[in-house]
Structure 1
Amino acid sequence: MIDPFTLSLIIIVALSLFGASVGLAMIAGSFVYLIVAGPDSSIAAETMLQGLFNNYTLLAIPLFILAADIMNIGSLADRLLRFAQALVGRFRGGLGHVNVVSSLIFSGMSGSAVADAVGMGKIIINLMTRDGKYTKSYAAAITAATATVGPIIPPSIPMVLYAIVSDQSVGFLFAAGMLPGLLMALSMAIMNYIIARKRDFPVDDVVPVRDLPRITWKALPALMLPVILLGGIYSGVMTPTEAAAVAALYALLISVIFYRSVSLKDFYEALLGSARSTASVGVLVAGAITFNYVIAREQLPVTISDMLGQYDFTKVQFLIVVNILFLVLGMVLEGGAILLIIVPILIPSVQAMGIDLVHFGVIVVVNAMLGLITPPYGLLLFITANITDEPIGRIIRDIWPFIAALLVALMIITFVPDFVLFLPRLLGYQG
């Protein structure tokens, strides 16, 4: 007879291969486990509901999604892009640098790599490929790569998910992502400059310095969003969930009142899109909560911790193994599944090794974002391929240099914990 846990895994993998969402597959596999193993199957439903309804932090996710969708339907992206172009468009490969900077700014508002790629990505790709200045494959590749910064710079939906499974402060995790996010952006800007010199990409039209104040003024309401959001969190005025609500309301108000760029139909479409995205994340979280009950009942975290203990890993060796594991898993699993399923299994081992959980959270999220651009199932690759109608093979060819640059950044983030924890400690973190 097949072991109940093995049967559960077979069902999850089989359903996922046949096209079911990972969340639904985990719910089905967990129910089968509970029926076969003996406990009342109603435990799964109870565990799922308690996990969803007793976690206030989860409310931040749909609100950040709504804020990102509202920003995408308004003219915020256009104004931010114009601001970025005025700042860095004057350098060789300027529109590539604009791509990096605009993603960096937009990431301080959306918290989602997909929202960045879909919203800002469509505009910047069209701008880069106009008049044949850049190839479609390069524009798609750099857009996919820069979108990975979105969930590293706060706010961040993956950081919220990690906070839930690790019982860490969302505010400290947000602070920990700031410097790594800037490092990732810098690594991609350097790589873009090297490629621009090699391929002789053009220098774009220089925006006169006298126009900078006017362009900045037009973009200022949008640029104030991350200031209000993060200022509210770190001043103690708002919780991250309340800050997410304020971000959504602020994005709506400036889009409707200040920029006058959102119609009632647009707002309805944003609400509809947010509802779909929230439902998708909700199913994934519900499935993970249920399956984590199965994992806990099987004492899998303890088993993994004991197994790793036998190898007598040093902290550096352990982090190398974890990075390789997450990079490989990122090629076939979505980031949310990695955060909600794999991380809870590893947390006891991480604590036993004396690794700071906030630092580890940044490592995990950066790896999950790299998974979005690594073949064969990198979601951002498919999104940008759809935007450009470019064969995905060409995009993969052009994205490898950016993956290499991000891997260098990942190594610094992994092995220099003081770099990651500098800002959280300034804000009172004791780790």
Structure 2
Amino acid sequence: MDWQIIIVLFGTFFIFLGLGVPISFGIAISSLLTVMLSLPFDAAIAVISQKLASGLDSFSLLAIPFFILAGNIMNQGGIALRLINFAKVLGGQLPGSLAHVNVLANMMFGSISGSAVASAAAVGGTMSPLQKKEGYDPAYSAAVNITSCPTGLLIPPSNTFIVYSLISGGTSIGALFLAGYIPGLIMGLGLMVVAAIIAKKRNYPVSEKPSGQIVLQRTLDALPSLGLIVIIMGGIIGGIFTATEASAIAVVYTLMLAVVFYREVTIRQIPAIILESVITTSIVLLLIGASMGMSWAMANADIPYMISDALMNVSENPIVVLLIINLILLIVGVFMDMTPALLIFTPIFLPIAMDLGMDPVHFGIMMTFNLCIGICTPPVGSALFIGCSVGKVKIDKVIKPLLPFYAVLVLALMLVTYIPEISLALPQAFLGY
């Protein structure tokens, strides 16, 4: 009976996924069918509906629509070009300088917008023509853009951490935000090392050294945008406001920046930006609500404990168990987008990790890092599709150039997995976590 429940839950979900049913509906229907194995139809409907509604009854979730709105305002507020110019100041003298500019700009823009896809489109769309003009291989340029755009999902503020906090039972959002900095930097710097080695072999050009006046101008242009991160993290660390309150402040700040300071967004554009944000928020919140029903169905059927027992039967060595979890998540990430994967597999793997003595903040960073790799991989990686589209490269042409970048991402993932201090050092230092 136990395995029958697992087969019904995950079997029907993946069937719906294969048929092209929206993921949120697939999650809800498969959860309903699973609950019907132990409850009458009317009771099963009531349980799933109740869990869907109660799953959205959380103050912390208010941060998601606000951060999405702030990100959309920034996307249209002329931020990308200013950050690219600032990235040229930071990485313009390195071998294959435009590749490093791409990585650095994605790290900054992604952290501000909170979206890997938006970062890949905005930064990649600007950088691709410049790199092509300088003689860069378009497939190489696309590979750099694709693998670096998810860095902003680790460097806060990040909606992914807010979702994880909810699904994990209230893990500190402030601690997660701080914990993401060093892993995000490791991801970006690792990609820059690979990019530099390849650029050196191919003799890609180094940009001319800018004058002091240009350096100052580009830095001053970028500082107001980067100030958002300082305000949000400074306020959270200083105890001035919560992460949810910080998201509302982020909207006010970005609106003033885009409309008044940069003057890239007009009042007439704001309703369209709000509508786009509402649509994105609705998709995310429907996923969260549906996943709460699935979490209850899994808990009711003791599925997390069954999977835990199965893993422990393979090995009780934490190194081996965490390696297996990472391998499973890497495979899942190939076929599933980050948010649904996080919602479905956190309730399964988090109890196992905590039984091994792993901190939930550390596990959240490991899981997010792992799934960041997934959105760069075929066949359904959203960053892969956007990166190839803006770079005007076919997917089959970019797979080979992506391989060395995949290798360094997996290596960085192993460092984050097995060295807890990488994730926990900043929360412990600033929050006493």
TM-score range, shorter chain: over 0.9
Query: For residue 32 of structure 1, what is the aligned residue in structure 2?
Result: 33
Change (3 A) 1:191 1:17: same
> Mean alpha-carbon deviation: is it higher for 9-18 or for 44-53?
9-18
Q: Distance in 2 between matches of 1:8 and 1:304?
A: 14
- State the 1:395 CA deviation: 1.7
Q: Which residue identity lines up with residue 69 of structure 1 in the other structure? A: N
8 Å CA contact 2:322, 2:353 repeated in 1: no
Query: For residue 16 of structure 2, what is the aligned residue in structure 1?
Result: 15
> Mean alpha-carbon deviation: is it higher for 343-352 or for 180-189?
343-352
Say whether residues 1:342 and 2:345 are aligned partners.
Answer: yes
Query: For residue 146 of structure 1, what is the aligned residue in structure 2?
Result: 148
Q: Distance in 2 between matches of 1:25 and 1:32?
A: 11
Q: Distance in 1 between matches of 2:62 and 2:252?
A: 15
Aligned positions of 1:269-284 closer than 5 A = 269-284=272-287
Change (3 A) 1:272 1:139: farther
Q: Which residue identity lines up with residue 147 of structure 1 in the other structure? A: C
8 Å CA contact 2:6, 2:303 repeated in 1: no
- State the 1:397 CA deviation: 1.8
Say whether residues 1:409 and 2:405 are aligned partners.
Answer: no
8 Å CA contact 1:4, 1:37 repeated in 2: no
Q: Distance in 2 between matches of 1:407 and 1:32?
A: 37
8 Å CA contact 1:146, 1:188 repeated in 2: yes
Deviation sequence 1:82-114 (CA, Å, 0-9, x none): 111122223221111101111122233122212
Deviation sequence 1:240-294 (CA, Å, 0-9, x none): 1111111122111111001111123432332222122112111211221111111
Say whether residues 1:137 and 2:139 are aligned partners.
Answer: yes
- State the 1:156 CA deviation: 1.1
Say whether residues 1:313 and 2:322 are aligned partners.
Answer: no
Say whether residues 1:358 and 2:361 are aligned partners.
Answer: yes
SS of the equivalent of 1:126 reads: helix
Query: For residue 180 of structure 1, what is the aligned residue in structure 2?
Result: 183
Query: For residue 160 of structure 1, what is the aligned residue in structure 2?
Result: 162
Q: Distance in 2 between matches of 1:34 and 1:179?
A: 41
Say whether residues 1:45 and 2:44 are aligned partners.
Answer: no
Q: Which residue identity lines up with residue 377 of structure 2 in the other structure? A: T
Q: Distance in 1 between matches of 2:414 and 2:33?
A: 40
SS of the equivalent of 2:335 reads: coil
> Mean alpha-carbon deviation: is it higher for 104-113 or for 347-356?
104-113
Q: Distance in 1 between matches of 2:400 and 2:95?
A: 22
8 Å CA contact 1:108, 1:154 repeated in 2: yes
Q: Which residue identity lines up with residue 16 of structure 1 in the other structure? A: L
8 Å CA contact 2:148, 2:191 repeated in 1: yes
SS of the equivalent of 2:281 reads: helix
8 Å CA contact 1:107, 1:155 repeated in 2: no
Q: Distance in 2 between matches of 1:414 and 1:34?
A: 34
Q: Name structure 1 gaps, 5 residues minimum.
A: none
Query: For residue 253 of structure 1, what is the aligned residue in structure 2?
Result: 256
Q: Distance in 1 between matches of 2:414 and 2:312?
A: 24
Aligned residue pair count: 428
Query: For residue 428 of structure 1, what is the aligned residue in structure 2?
Result: 431
Q: TM-score, normalised by structure 2?
A: 0.94
8 Å CA contact 2:70, 2:113 repeated in 1: yes
Q: TM-score, normalised by structure 1?
A: 0.95
Change (3 A) 1:9 1:318: closer
Share of identical aligned residues, percent?
Answer: 34
8 Å CA contact 1:315, 1:355 repeated in 2: no
8 Å CA contact 2:13, 2:27 repeated in 1: yes
Which 4+ residue blocks in structure 1 deviate beyond 6 angstroms?
none
Q: Distance in 2 between matches of 1:284 and 1:15?
A: 15
- State the 1:3 CA deviation: 4.2
Q: Which residue identity lines up with residue 18 of structure 2 in the other structure? A: L
Query: For residue 382 of structure 2, what is the aligned residue in structure 1?
Result: 379
Q: Distance in 2 between matches of 1:187 and 1:21?
A: 35
SS of the equivalent of 2:80 reads: helix
Aligned CA-pair RMSD: 1.8
- State the 1:311 CA deviation: 3.6
Q: Name structure 2 gaps, 5 residues minimum.
A: none
SS of the equivalent of 1:52 reads: coil
Query: For residue 101 of structure 2, what is the aligned residue in structure 1?
Result: 98
- State the 1:340 CA deviation: 0.7
